[in-house]
Amino acid sequence: MTDTQRVCFLLKVRADRIDAYRARHQDVWQEMRQALTAAGWHNYSLFLREDGLLVGYLETADFDAARAAMDATGVNARWQAETAGFFEELDGRAPDAAMRPLTEVFHLA
């Protein structure tokens, strides 16, 4: 992968859904895993703090293109619909549409 874009984003899991969110991610659908990889989502990780702060990280050549590739899959639509209830402050958006990348200010290669 050349010209890798590192992407970090935050979302907020509802306090009453934290345990269920963790459990849901113990068995991510194989079809979803394959779609993410095919769409260019690499080294994708989610970290969850006790208060529900979710930190996501991935590497990709082009985040906008990687998101668009996922938007074009049926599995992503099903996953987003199933997981939307876990989050606060989506304002009617799907969880993946609510991802707002943070600005990278330092990277030690």
**Per-residue model confidence (pLDDT) at position 94:** 79
Condensed to tens digits (0 to 9), the pLDDT of residues 54-70 reads: 999 999 999 999 999 99
pLDDT class of 89 with cuts at 50, 70, 90: confident
Is the pLDDT at 86 greater than 90? The verdict is yes
Per-residue pLDDT at 2 exceeds 80: no
Full-prediction pTM beyond 0.85?
A: yes
Percent of the chain, pLDDT > 70? 98
Catalytic annotation, pick one of 22, 25, 33, 93: 25
Three-state DSSP string of 36-87: HHHCCCEEEEEEECCCCEEEEEEEECCHHHHHHHHHCCHHHHHHHHHHHHHE
- For residue 24, pLDDT beyond 80: yes
- Residue 25: active-site member: yes
Q: CATH classification of 5-86 is 3.30.70.100, yes or no?
A: yes
